[in-house]
């Protein structure tokens, strides 16, 4: 259990401290308000973050630049916490599949999560590898990604969003007895808005939650 929890915290740290790589300016990616995850330059969201580290606010803004990591192109976004400072996040979107990759040099980890397919029906699942070799700190790992609900309504911060997709990432490790769940990540994406809420759940308890702030304007897209 201690080893499992250490790996979970190491992965959680990835999304706070990312390694920066060379990038270049690109045109807008063609996102429109019909997208569940707009990634055009200037797309911006603000979140209330609550959890084990206390309360903070997070602003995420796409820069219009891309970064190539392991031969794959990612869109860059500045992630700025009011208390913890800033970092660069890397996101991808192609053929209706969306996700993120981040690295933490101190933890020696580079993790990719696939958090959304906006064309599949509720109940659809697929398995992906969070790393190129399928290992996290030498332990076999995988993610089971599931579309939990589609076309639902979700109230966050006093606003009721329609056309919402609810997804789940189940991060699993195999310590020799088969894959077992170690952490679950829940996401909600609203059409024309983007991610409105996500939660990290460990042992059935919410470790951290990010909820869109209701007085933030709709994300700007080109």
| Interacting residues of 66 by C-beta distance below 8 A, sequence separation 6+ | 23, 24, 26, 73, 74, 75, 76
**CA neighbours closer than 13 Å in the CB half-sphere of residue 142:** 11
Q: Structural domain boundaries of the chain?
A: 2-212
Q: Compute the average pLDDT of residues 175-182.
A: 95
pLDDT digits (tens, 9 = 90+) for 109-128: 788 999 999 999 999 999 99
Instruction: Give, in order, the Cα–Cα distances in Å from 91 to each of 21, 61, 64, 79, 152.
Output: 13, 12, 12, 12, 24
Q: Which residues contact 17 (CB under 8 A, 6 or more apart)?
A: 87, 104, 106
CA distance 192 to 194: 6
| 37-93 per-position pLDDT tens digit | 888 877 889 999 998 878 999 899 999 999 988 888 899 998 888 887 778 888 998
E strand map for 40-94: 44-51, 54-69, 72-81, 85-94
Topology of the domain covering 2-212: YmcC-like fold (2.40.360)
- Compare 164 and 79 and report the one with higher pLDDT: 164
Residue 219 · residue 38 · CB < 8 Å: yes
Please tell me the distance from the alpha carbon of residue 115 to that of residue 23, in angstroms, as a whole number.
Answer: 23
Those residues whose C-beta lies under 8 Å from the C-beta of residue 178, and which sit 6 or more positions away, are none
Look at residue 21 and tell me whether its pLDDT is greater than 50.
no
Percent over 70 (pLDDT), the chain = 79
Task: Report residue 209's pLDDT band, with 50, 70 and 90 as the boundaries.
Answer: very high
């Amino acid at each position: 259990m201690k080893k499992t929890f250490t790996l979970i915290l190491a992965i959680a740290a990835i999304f706070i401290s990312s390694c920066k790589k060379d990038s270049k300016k690109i045109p807008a990616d063609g996102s429109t308000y019909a997208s569940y995850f707009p990634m055009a330059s200037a797309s911006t969201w603000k979140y209330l973050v609550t959890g084990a580290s206390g309360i903070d606010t997070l602003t995420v803004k796409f820069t219009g630049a891309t970064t190539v990591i392991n031969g794959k192109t990612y869109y860059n976004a500045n992630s700025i916490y009011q208390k913890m400072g800033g970092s660069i996040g890397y996101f991808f979107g192609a053929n209706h599949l969306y996700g993120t990759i981040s690295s933490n040099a101190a933890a020696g980890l580079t993790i990719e999560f696939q958090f959304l397919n906006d064309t599949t029906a509720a109940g659809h699942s697929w398995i992906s590898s969070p790393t190129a070799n399928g290992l996290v700190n030498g332990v076999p790992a995988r993610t089971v990604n599931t579309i939990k609900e589609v076309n639902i309504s979700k109230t966050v911060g006093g606003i009721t969003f329609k056309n919402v997709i609810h997804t789940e990432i189940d991060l699993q490790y195999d310590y020799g007895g088969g894959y077992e769940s170690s952490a679950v990540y829940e996401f909600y994406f609203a059409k024309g808005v983007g991610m409105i809420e996500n939660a990290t759940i460990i042992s059935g308890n919410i470790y951290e939650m990010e909820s869109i702030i209701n007085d933030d304007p709709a994300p700007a897209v080109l």
